Amino acid sequence: MSVIEDRPALVGEAHLPAVLNDLLAHADADRADVLRARLAQELPLLRDRLSRLYSNTPDYAQWLNRVLVQTVQTALNRPADLWALDLQREANPNWHLQGMLGYCTYTDKFAGNLAGVRQRIPHLQELGVTYLHLLPFLKPGTPPNDGGFAVASYDEVDPKLGTLADLQQLTRELRAAGISLCSDFVLNHVSHEHAWAVQARAGSAQHQSFFHWVKSPEQIAAYEKNLVQIFPNTAPGNFTFVPEVNAWTWTTFYPYQWDLNYAQPIVFSEMAKSLLQLANHGVEAFRLDSTGFLWKRAGTNCMNQPEVHWLLQALRCLTNIAAPGTLLKAEAIMPTQDLPPYFGLGDTQGPECHVAYHSSLMSASWVALAEENTQLIQDVLFHTPALPEGCTWMTYVRCHDDIGWNVLRPELDARGPDQRSRLLHASQFFAGQVEGSYAQGAAFQASDTNAVHGTNGMAAALVGLKSAQTPEEQFAATSRLILLQSLSLFVGGLPLIYMGDELGQGNTSAAELAARQGPDGRELHRPVFDEALFAQRHESTTTAGVIYATLRAYVNAKKQHAALSAEHALRLVPCAHPSVLVLQRGEQALGVFNFSGTNVTVSLSAALPMHLQTPINVLTQQAANISACELAPYASVWLTAHGS
């Protein structure tokens, strides 16, 4: 850590820029006092990180002053209810660890537009949701726009979804219902129709500096030999020729998504300004998209560079000053051991993101289903690091992206050189290409049938719910879906449900896929919310009703039993049966998960402390026999000590 981080912060008037002193002197006295205290806390780290990044750029000191004034002014303009929420959460900094439940959806697929989402709030409340992640709703470029991830304006809402006024109204109603809104914030790139890109093509040297440029195919080849291919079928390569500039710009994802050059300080300050302004519109969490790609360095794969973490830590400091009740979530889909730096546990330590996706656990859970063996889940959880205070994992069964299998390579490589073949088996199994597979998924970006490809498809389709031909097959598929959700809920500090999974909704229909006419295979698991299934959610004789009721029961149990809180440490409990996973939460709770299609009886008593020897099933309130715990096929059981 920098020496400056270890010294007490001194930010009296003599240590603040004169313009900032003047701003605070003329502000509301109570707010000014709070902001001085926040500045005292955050400025040492902020100055250190920004100095590392930008101190060699011209007019650095003046730029830093502008950043501070911009941030404090945003805080002074913060609406009264959000200011009060910040104070409440500063007094209870682990507010997001106390039984939150997430729900993720596209606005248009879920409810048509932002106004329609307001009509869905009762459904979210009934399900127990306290965190709503709406996938991109900011103004995108014209299609194709990567489902809205090619942002044309960070300061406007997609006109098809509503207006800023609609967003503000939605956030107010969500807050009243106890639900925090999460917005995607695409840090790595902008649409080629963003004002910066437009002005760059028009010849503005300043705006051209906001992007990365190479002048020759030889330069491109030198970079490409180290870079990954994100979309090898639909968008091969990492550079796109721009005729107006007579050069290639860096486009990691699609040609219409231009990577930003964070070596330019104004890029960072303008992006931070837009994020904080969205926070003032009522957004309470940000999914920081494509965080690993923010800094480019020749001779590397240009991922997870040290500067990425300096940028994110600086962004966290600014958020802590202007909107400290706001969560930052890293969208860093990579092996578990590569994730600790996104929680501030890297070479340069400091507060960074509050939440990150546990993609390894998600992928390992699907492998366990295909193999009917929990070894890989156990390996992943054994190597999952402890997190800093106030940080947590987001667990999930499905999301809007494909299932990426290669995040599991480290765990498999540790078991031997031949173990990666298990990923190919999982990829083919869930694409329905393996004899006996019940899955109706599809390979993503498939060009070689012998390569490991990501998997597309809704959870219900992947567990066999839509291919089931008999009541027995239907029951088994339903049990598989509930099993995966149960594990995610038990492990997660912030478990996330993907739209439709609470009802067992299947893939997008062939007719709808044809109508969308898009090349992105991920549209398979981006259906429109199924109103017919929704109408069945309270009917116990329907599959949708069974899934919905059971999921709600687990959600309610987690809220009601303090022993199940993610604030208690999680550990693996040895179990002789390879298909059974046993987890202990703290000293008072146990989760038992059977990943096989057969009945299993296991003995747990030898591995458990005395106060868990006569546990209660949290769903049935019946005493459990842990010396001979009977598990139906694909069953999950949560147990707690009596009264906990």
Annotated catalytic residue 158? no
The secondary structure of residue 2, as a DSSP letter, is -
Strand partners, 104: 133, 498
By CB neighbour count within 10 A (0-12 exposed, 13-18 middle, 19+ buried), where does 347 fall? exposed
Catalytic residue, from 48, 146, 193, 289: name it.
289
- Coil/strand/helix, residue 357: strand
* Three state DSSP letters for 598-630: CCEEECCHHHCCHHHCCCEECCCCCECCHHHEE
pLDDT for the residue 234: 85
Is the model's pLDDT at 271 over the cut of 50? yes
Give the range among 10-24, 36-50, 335-349, 481-495 with minimum mean pLDDT: 10-24
Could you tell me which residues come within 8 angstroms of residue 125 by beta carbon, excluding any fewer than 6 positions away? 177, 178, 179
Considering the chain, what percentage of its residues have pLDDT values greater than 70?
Answer: 97
User: Is 636 in contact with 483 (CB distance < 8 Å)?
Assistant: yes
pLDDT category of residue 453 using cuts at 50, 70 and 90: confident
By CB neighbour count within 10 A (0-12 exposed, 13-18 middle, 19+ buried), where does 560 fall? exposed
pLDDT category of residue 331 using cuts at 50, 70 and 90: very high
* Domain segments of the chain as ranges: 195-259, 567-640
Domains 195-259 and 567-640 share a fold: no
Rg (CA), the chain: 25
pLDDT for the residue 449: 64
pLDDT, average across residues 483-501: 97
User: Is 292 in contact with 332 (CB distance < 8 Å)?
Assistant: yes
Is the model's pLDDT at 366 over the cut of 50? yes
Strand partners, 185: 288
Calpha distance 423→363 (Å, rounded): 10
Calpha distance 551→128 (Å, rounded): 10
pLDDT for the residue 6: 35
pLDDT category of residue 10 using cuts at 50, 70 and 90: very low
Could you tell me which residues come within 8 angstroms of residue 338 by beta carbon, excluding any fewer than 6 positions away? 304, 332
By CB neighbour count within 10 A (0-12 exposed, 13-18 middle, 19+ buried), where does 244 fall? exposed
Catalytic residue, from 331, 371, 379, 520: name it.
331
Averaged confidence pLDDT in the chain: 94
Q: How many of the other CB atoms lie within 10 Å of CB of 30?
A: 9
Is the model's pLDDT at 14 over the cut of 60? no
Is the model's pLDDT at 3 over the cut of 70? no
Closest by Cα among 267, 160, 148 to 206: 267
Say if strands 180-186 and 285-289 run parallel, antiparallel, or are unpaired: parallel
pLDDT for the residue 448: 64
**To which residue do tokens 């006996």 refer?**
436
Is the model's pLDDT at 91 over the cut of 70? yes
Annotated catalytic residue 193? no
Tokens standing for residue 353: 């993101």
pLDDT digit string (tens) for 581-599? 999 999 999 999 999 999 9
CATH number of this structure's domain 195-259, picked from the four choices 3.40.50.150, 3.90.400.10, 3.40.50.1370, 3.30.420.480: 3.90.400.10
pLDDT digit string (tens) for 423-435? 999 999 999 999 9
- What are φ and ψ of residue 153, in 5° steps? -155, 125
pLDDT category of residue 8 using cuts at 50, 70 and 90: very low
- Coil/strand/helix, residue 157: strand
CA angle 239, 445, 260 (to 5 degrees): 30
Calpha distance 341→505 (Å, rounded): 36
pLDDT category of residue 215 using cuts at 50, 70 and 90: very high
Is the model's pLDDT at 11 over the cut of 50? no
User: Is 263 in contact with 287 (CB distance < 8 Å)?
Assistant: no
CATH number of this structure's domain 567-640, picked from the four choices 3.30.420.40, 1.10.10.350, 2.60.40.1180, 1.10.730.10: 2.60.40.1180
